[in-house]
Structure 1
Amino acid sequence: MTKLAQPRELPARLLTDPEMINACRVRDFARVFRLVKKQAGIYPSMIARLCDLTPSRVGEVIAGQRQLLHMDVIERISDGLRIPGDMLGLARRPWETPQALVVTEREPPQASQPALSSPVTLAGPDVDSILAITSGTSPGPSTLRALQSSIEDYWRRDDQHGGEALRPAVVGQLRYVVGLLPESKSTSMRHGLYGVAAELARLTGWTHFDARQYSQARAYFTESLQLAREIEDRPFMANVLACMSLQATYQEKPADALALVNAAQDAAHTGMGSTPRLLSMLSMREAFAHAALGSQTATHRAISEAHRQFELIDAKDPDPAWMFYFDEPKLIVDTGIAHGQLGEAATAEPLIAEAMRREYTSNQRGRAFHAFWLARTQLQLGKLDQACHAATEALDSASAVASERLAGHLREFYEQLAAYRQEPVALAFEARLREALPT
C-alpha cells in the first residue's frame, strides 16, 4: 500500500476565508483545491497523495469535469488536508482538538443550596434507558418473535420510504437486543437474540449505505459480521459480506468488491444452511464485481452460475426469511444490470424491462433503481424518448423514497444527457428532476 504524505495544517487565514468556508459548505472541491494551492502552496500532486486520490482524478475535479460525492472520499479530504469536519458537514474528526480540551468560560460561583433527597434516580432520556425500565424479566420466545416481526416491518418500510427516518428506531432496538444478551438463559434464546442483533446491525449498515455514508455503513456491517460469527451463522455472514461487496463497487473499489464476495462464497460453502438461492445471489454479486473490473468472460461465467444455482431451488429448501427477496424477477433484473455494466445494452434492456413487468410495485426504491438502469441502457441504444420516459418513472418512485444513492444515480443519468440537452424530452426530464430532487 502506498504510504500517504504527512498531513500538515492549513493556515488559519485560509480556514477563516469566507470563500473557503462557502466552498466547503457546498462541497465545491474544485474551488477548495484551487484555494489550497493558492494560499497554502499545496499543489495537485500533493493533494492527491494527502487524500489518497489519483492525480488525474484531482485534475478532473479542478477542471470541473468531475464531482466528489462519496462520503469516504470527503472524509479522506477532510483528514488529508486537515479541514475541520464541521466545515464539510461531517462529524468531528479524530485528529481535531478533543472537546474536553476546549477552554470555556467558568460560571460564577453559586451560593450553596441544601441538597434535596430523591427517592428515585431518574433514567436518562435515551432510548436504551427507557427500554431498560420495561426489561425486568428475562426474554422469552414471544420477545424473539416480536423482534423478528419488527425487522420484517423495518425492511418493508425501508423499501417503501428509505431508511433515514427508521434509523434511530433500528439503532435503539439494536442496543436493546445487545443489552438482552447477558439476560438470556437458554442456548436457543441466546442464539436467536444474536441472530436478531446481527440482522438489526446489517439493516443499520444498509440505511447508511443507501445514504452514501460509507464509513458508518462499514462499521455496522462489521458489527453484524461479528454478531453472526458468535453463533457461527455462516450463511448470514456471507449475506453481510455480499452487502459490503456491493458497497465496494459503489466506492469504485472493484478489486475489494471481488475479494469480499469471494470471502462470502467461502463462508457459504463452509457453513451449514447454505441454499441454492443464497449461492445464486452470491454468484450474481460476483458478476457485478467482475463487470466493474471490465472482465466480460468472468462476468458471463458468474451469471451462468447464478442461473444454474437458481434452477436448483426446491420449495423444501430452508431459506431464511432474509433471503426471499432474491426471487426470479430479481435474478433477471440483476442479470440485465450486470450486462449493462459491461456496456452490453442490447442484451440488458429486454431483461430489465421483463423483470420490471413482473416485480412487485410495493418496493418503491427497487423499482426506481431498475427504471434508472432501463433508462441508462436505452440511452446507450440511442432510444432517447424511451430512456427519458423510464428515467421519469424512476423519478416518480424516487420522490417517495429518501435515498441519496438513488438520487445520485438519477443525477448521473442527467449528466449522460449532455448531448441531448436541447431536445424537448431532455428538457422535460430536467424540469422534473429539479422539481423532484432539488439541489
Structure 2
Amino acid sequence: MYRLSPDPREVVAGLLGDERLIRACAERDMGAVFRMFNARGISTRRIAAAVDITQGRLYDYMNGKSRVEKLTLFEQIADAFHIPGHLLGLARRSWEPAPGTAEHQRADHPPPDGDDLVAMDHFRSADRQTGGGRLYGAVVRHLSDRVAPRLVDLGSGPQVFAAAAALTEMAGWMAHDSGHDHRAAQHFARALPLARTSGDMPLAAHVAASSSHLARETGDAAGAVGWARTGLDLAAQGPRIPALTARLHTMQARALAGAAQRTPAARALEAAHGDLDAAAAADHPWLSPFDAAAMAGEAALIMRDLEQYDQALTHAEQAVALREAGRARSLALSRITLVDIHVRRGDLDAAVHVGHDLLSTSPTLGSVRVVLQLDGLRRLLEPHRGYALVREYLARFDDARRARMLLLADLIPPHPGGTTA
C-alpha cells in the first residue's frame, strides 16, 4: 500500500528535543540535519523542493561535499521546516510565537546593567595579561550564578540577554585560548541567539566574527568565510560600527588568504583598512576593541599566507610596536608571527633576535594557544639548526619550554596538542 511522505513540520516538531538536531543546528551542519529528516521518512525530493534547491545540491550537502553558507538559505530552511530561528542563530521567525519580553523594550535599548559591565571589564583586563586558562571557570560560574537566573525572569529586559551573550562569547574565547575548540564553538553557538534575542545586532555580528576566527583556526576555511558574511549581514542591520565591520572584513580576508584566494582576500583587507580608518573609539559597551594593533597582526598573517613576505614583515613589526606591555598574550602572539615571517624570508639572524625577546614572555601566561604556536615555531626553526645561532636558540627555547610546562602543569597536559577538539 502506498504511504504518503510524512509532513516535514511534524517530523521537525518531533525532533526539537533531540540533542543531535540541536547540535547539528548549532554547528550549522545542514547536511546532518537533512540526513536526519531523510531517515525519518522525508524524501530527498521533498526536502529539495521545500528549500528550492536541486537534488544534486542536496546530495552534496548530505554527503559533506559542501556546506550551506548563505544566510538567506538558512532562513529558507528554518521557514520551510519550522526550525526555531534561535537554533540556527537567526532572528525569531515570523511564524514563531512572540517572546515573553515586550518587543517595545528592544527599541528603547536600555543601558546594560552596571555590575555586568564591571565584571566584563575585569575579566577582559585579566584575560589579556594572564590568559584564558586561568579565568574560564570564573566566567562560566559568573554566567551560571549571576546571569542565567535573570534570563528566566519575565521582568528582565533585553540588556540581560545582551550581557549573557557577551559573557558567553567571552567564555568561548577563553575555552579557545585553553585549547578546547569544540567547547568554544558551543559557547559561540549559544551566544548568537542570545544576542539576537537582545535585539543588539552589532553584538550578534561580533559573535559571528568570533565564530569565523574559530573556524579559520580549526581549518574550516569555507565556514570561516560563511561566518564572516553572516556577520556582515547582521552588522548591516545597524547601527553601523566601523571597527566591527573592519574586524569582519579582516576575518573574511584571513579565510580567503588561507584558501589562496588572492584577489578576494586583498579586496576584503582593503575594505577592512577603509573601515578602520573611519572607526571611532569604543562606541559599544559589549564589543572587545578591534584597533590598529589587532589589524596589523591580522594583516601580517594574511600577507604571510599570500606569501607576500615583505608586506607581512611591515605589518608584523607594526603589531609588535603597537602592543602595550600589559597585553602579554597579544604581544607574545605578535612576536611569534614576526619570528615566523623572518624565517620564511630567510633572515635567521633577525628571527633569533626576536625569538629571544619572545622567550621573555611571562612563563605563567595561561594560554594553550600560545604554547601550541610556540611549538609550531620550533618546528619551523628545526630544519635550520645547522646554523649555530639557531642551534643555540633552540637549546634555550627547550629549557624555557620545560620551565613553562612545569608552571602550567595545572592547565596544560604534557601533550597540549591533544587538548584541542
TM over 0.5: yes
Equivalent positions of 1:70-149 (< 5 A) are: 144-149=113-118
Aligned residues between the structures = 299
Deviations 1:270-291 (A, max 9, x none): x222311111111111111111
1:254 aligns with 2:218: no
1:153 aligns with 2:153: no
Q: Normalised by the size of structure 2, how large is the TM-score?
A: 0.66
Q: Give, as a single letter, the amino acid of the residue that structure 1 aligns with 2:133.
A: E
For residue 142 of structure 1, report the CA deviation from its aligned partner.
11
Matched residue SS, 2:141: helix
Matched residue SS, 2:157: helix
Quick one: distance in 1 between partners of 2:289 and 2:213? 16
Q: Give, as a single letter, the amino acid of the residue that structure 2 aligns with 1:387.
A: A
Quick one: distance in 2 between partners of 1:423 and 1:152? 46
* Residue matched to 1:361: 325
Quick one: distance in 1 between partners of 2:189 and 2:362? 29
* Residue matched to 1:29: none
Equivalent positions of 1:21-420 (< 5 A) are: 144-176=113-145, 177-183=147-153, 185=155, 190-269=157-236, 271-314=237-280, 319-323=283-287, 325-397=289-361, 399-420=363-384
Distance 1:2 1:262, change over 3 A: closer
Quick one: distance in 1 between partners of 2:396 and 2:210? 31
Contact 1:368 1:393 in 2 (8 A): no
Quick one: distance in 1 between partners of 2:280 and 2:204? 23
Quick one: distance in 1 between partners of 2:198 and 2:314? 43
Deviations 1:112-167 (A, max 9, x none): xxxxxxxxxxxxxxxxxxxxxxxxxxxxx999212211111101111101111211
Query: Which structure would you say has the larger RCO, counting Cα contacts within 8 Å and 6 or more residues apart?
Result: 2
Distance 1:190 1:437, change over 3 A: farther
Q: Percent identity?
A: 24
Contact 1:395 1:410 in 2 (8 A): no
For residue 392 of structure 1, report the CA deviation from its aligned partner.
3.0
Q: Normalised by the size of structure 1, how large is the TM-score?
A: 0.64
Higher alpha-carbon Rg: 1
Which residues of structure 2 form unaligned runs of 5+? 1-29, 33-62, 65-109, 403-413, 415-421
For residue 436 of structure 1, report the CA deviation from its aligned partner.
2.8
* Residue matched to 1:7: none
For residue 343 of structure 1, report the CA deviation from its aligned partner.
1.6
Matched residue SS, 2:307: coil
Matched residue SS, 2:133: coil
Contact 2:130 2:328 in 1 (8 A): yes
Which residues of structure 1 form unaligned runs of 5+? 4-51, 54-140
Deviations 1:200-220 (A, max 9, x none): 111111111112211111111
* Residue matched to 2:69: none
Q: Give, as a single letter, the amino acid of the residue that structure 1 aligns with 2:151.
A: L
Quick one: distance in 1 between partners of 2:356 and 2:157? 48
Quick one: distance in 2 between partners of 1:314 and 1:207? 27
Contact 1:398 1:406 in 2 (8 A): no
Quick one: distance in 2 between partners of 1:264 and 1:2? 22
Matched residue SS, 1:396: coil
Q: Give, as a single letter, the amino acid of the residue that structure 2 aligns with 1:173.
A: H
Contact 1:364 1:400 in 2 (8 A): no
